[in-house]
Structure 1
Amino acid sequence: MIVLILYDVVRAVLKPVFKFLYKIEIIGLDKVPQNEHIIFASNHKSLLDPVFIGIYMPRKVHYMAKKELFKNKFFGYILKNLGVFPVDRSKADISTIKTALRILKDGKAIGIFPEGTRTKGEGLGKAKAGTAMLAIKGKCKVVPVSIVSKYKIFRKTIIKINDPLDFEDYYDNKLTSSDYEILSQKVLDIIAQDIDNFS
Structure 2
Amino acid sequence: MNLYSIGKPLVALYLRFGFKIQVIGRENVPDQGGALICCNHLSNFDPPLVGTVLSRPLSFVAKEELFKIPLFGAVLRRLNAFPIRRGTGDRGAIRLAMKLLREGHALLIFPEGHRNLKHTKMQHAYSGAGFFALKTNAVVVPCAIIGRYKFRGKMKIVFGNPLNMEELKDRKLKSSEVTAIIMKHIEQLIATHTSSTA
Q: TM-score, normalised by structure 1?
A: 0.87
Distance 1:79 1:153 in 2: 24
Task: Show structure 1 runs of 5+ residues with no match.
Answer: none
Stretch moving more, 161-170 or 40-49: 161-170
Root mean square deviation, CA, Å: 2.1
Verify the 8 A CA contact 2:35 2:101 in the aligned structure 1. Answer: yes
Call closer, same or farther: CA 1:180–1:29 in 2, change over 3 Å: closer
Question: Could you say what secondary structure the match of 2:71 adopts?
Answer: helix
Contact 1:135 1:142 in 2 (8 A): yes
Q: Mean alpha-carbon deviation: is it higher for 99-108 or for 49-58?
A: 49-58
* 2:130–2:176 contact (8 Å) kept in structure 1: no
Alpha-carbon displacement from aligned partner over 1:96-148 (angstroms, at most 9, x marks no partner)? 11110001011000001132221123522235222222111122121122211
Q: Distance in 1 between matches of 2:189 and 2:112?
A: 11
**1:79-98 superposed matches below 5 A:** 79-98=76-95
Structure 2 equivalent of residue 19 of structure 1: 16
Equivalent position SS for 1:97: helix
Shift in Å at residue 11 of structure 1?
0.7
1:198 is matched with which residue?
Answer: 196
**Residue 36 (structure 2) aligns with:** 39
Number of residue-to-residue matches in the alignment: 196
Question: Offset at 1:194?
Answer: 3.3
SS at the partner of 2:150? coil
CA positional deviation for 1:24: 1.2
After the TM superposition, which residues 31-180 of structure 1 pair with which residues of structure 2 at under 5 Å, given as runs?
31-72=28-69, 74-128=71-125, 129-171=127-169, 174-180=172-178
The whole-number CA distance in structure 2 between the counterparts of 1:180 and 1:163 is: 16
Change (3 A) 1:186 1:90: closer
Structure 1 residues 65-117: Cα deviation after superposition (integer angstroms, max 9, x where no partner): 11122224532222111100011125121221111000101100000113222
TM (norm. structure 2) is 0.88
CA distance in 2, matches of 1:122, 1:104: 28
Residue identity in the other structure for 2:112: E
Question: CA shift at 1:177, angstroms?
Answer: 4.6
Q: Secondary structure at the match of 1:23?
A: strand
Q: Is the contact between residue 59 and residue 108 of structure 2 (CA under 8 Å) also seen in structure 1?
A: yes
Question: Which of the residues 182, 187, 190 maps onto 1:189?
Answer: 187
Asked if 1 retains the 8 angstrom alpha-carbon contact of 2:86 and 2:113, the reply is no
Whether the 8 Å contact between 1:65 and 1:87 is mirrored in structure 2 is: yes
User: Are the equivalent residues in 2 in contact too, given 1:41–1:131 (CA < 8 A)?
Assistant: yes
**Structure 1 residues 169 and 109: CA distance shift in structure 2, 3 A:** same
Per the alignment, residue 9 of structure 1 pairs with 6
Give SS of 1:55's match: helix
